[in-house]
Amino acid sequence: MLHDLFNPSVQHALDLVGIFVFAISGALLAVRKNFDVFGMAVLAEVTALGGGLFRDLVIGAVPPAAFTDLGYFLMPLVATALVFFLHPEVERTQTAVNVFDAAGLGLFCVTGTTKAYDYGLGLTSSAVLGMATGVGGGVLRDILAVEAPSLLRWDRDLYAVPAIVGATIVVLSIRFDVLNAYTSGIAVLTAFVLRLLAMRYHWRAPRAWNRRSSTRETEKATAQ
C-alpha cells in the first residue's frame, strides 16, 4: 500500500529530508550539552532514525530500513558535519529548522502508520505506531542527553498531538477505503500545520485539574 501512494524515488527523497532535519535537531542539542563530535553524531543518528527503527522492530520489518539503506545512515552524519562547523549559523536558522522538523513529523507519522498497517497491525495500533515513528527519535534523543523528554513536558508546545491527528486521518482513510496520495497528503499537511500553529501560539496540553502544586513548589521539593 505504501508504494502505491508515492513514487519510490519521491518517497525516498522525502525520507532523507525528514531524516536530515531531525538529525539537525539532535546535533544542535548535543552542542548545547557540550558533547564532542562523537556525541553529536550519536544524537543525530538516534533522533533521525530512532522512531523508524522502533517501528520496524515492532512490526517485524527486519533488518530495519535504517540498516539496509546507506543513505539513511549517512544523512545524519552530513547533518552532524554541518552543525559541527557551522552551528552558530544553524542556530540562527532555528525557525527554518523547526518548520522542516514539523514537515518531517507530518511525513513520518503518515508513512509510519501506513507501513504498520501493511504489516498486519490493526487500525488503532497502526495509528499509535505511526505517532511513535514521528516522535520516537526525539524521546530517545532527550533520554540520552539526560533531559526529561520534550514529549512529556507541560511547558513545551504540542508535538505528539499533531502526529496522532495525522495518523488518525490515515487510519480513517483506510477504514473508509479512501487512502490515496491525496488523502495521505492531507494527513501530512494537517499534522504539519497543527505543529506550526502550536509553535506559533504556544498550544500546550492541559495539566491535572485543580492542581495544588506549582512548578516552583515542585522544584523546591526536588531540591530538598
Q: Write the pLDDT tens digit of every residue in 25-63.
A: 899 889 989 999 999 999 999 999 999 999 999 999 999
- Condensed to tens digits (0 to 9), the pLDDT of residues 100-147 reads 888 889 989 999 999 999 999 999 999 999 999 999 999 999 999 999
CA–CA separation, 56 and 186 (whole Å) = 24
Instruction: Pick the more confident residue, 57 or 153.
Output: 57
CA–CA separation, 113 and 110 (whole Å) = 5
Task: Find out whether 26 and 43 touch, Cβ atoms under 8 Å.
Answer: yes
Residue with cell 495544588: 212
| For range 159-175, the mean pLDDT | 96
CA distances from 133 to 7, 82, 127, 168 (A): 21, 25, 10, 14
Whose CA is closest to 173, among 130, 133, 135?
130
CA–CA separation, 12 and 71 (whole Å) = 9
CA angle 179, 167, 105 (to 5 degrees): 115
Q: Is the pLDDT assigned to residue 160 strictly greater than 60?
A: yes
| For range 8-28, the mean pLDDT | 85
| pTM, to two decimals | 0.86
CA–CA separation, 27 and 30 (whole Å) = 5
What DSSP state is assigned to residue 209?
T
Query: The C-alpha cell of 67 is what?
Result: 540498516
CA–CA separation, 114 and 93 (whole Å) = 32
The model's confidence at residue 213, banded by pLDDT at 50, 70 and 90, is low
Q: Is the pLDDT assigned to residue 217 strictly greater than 70?
A: no
Least confident of 16-25, 93-102, 118-127, 202-211: 93-102
- What is the pLDDT, as a whole number, of residue 15? 86
CA–CA separation, 173 and 183 (whole Å) = 7
- What is the pLDDT, as a whole number, of residue 88? 85
The model's confidence at residue 220, banded by pLDDT at 50, 70 and 90, is very low
- Three-state DSSP class for 176? coil
- Condensed to tens digits (0 to 9), the pLDDT of residues 62-81 reads 999 889 999 999 999 999 99
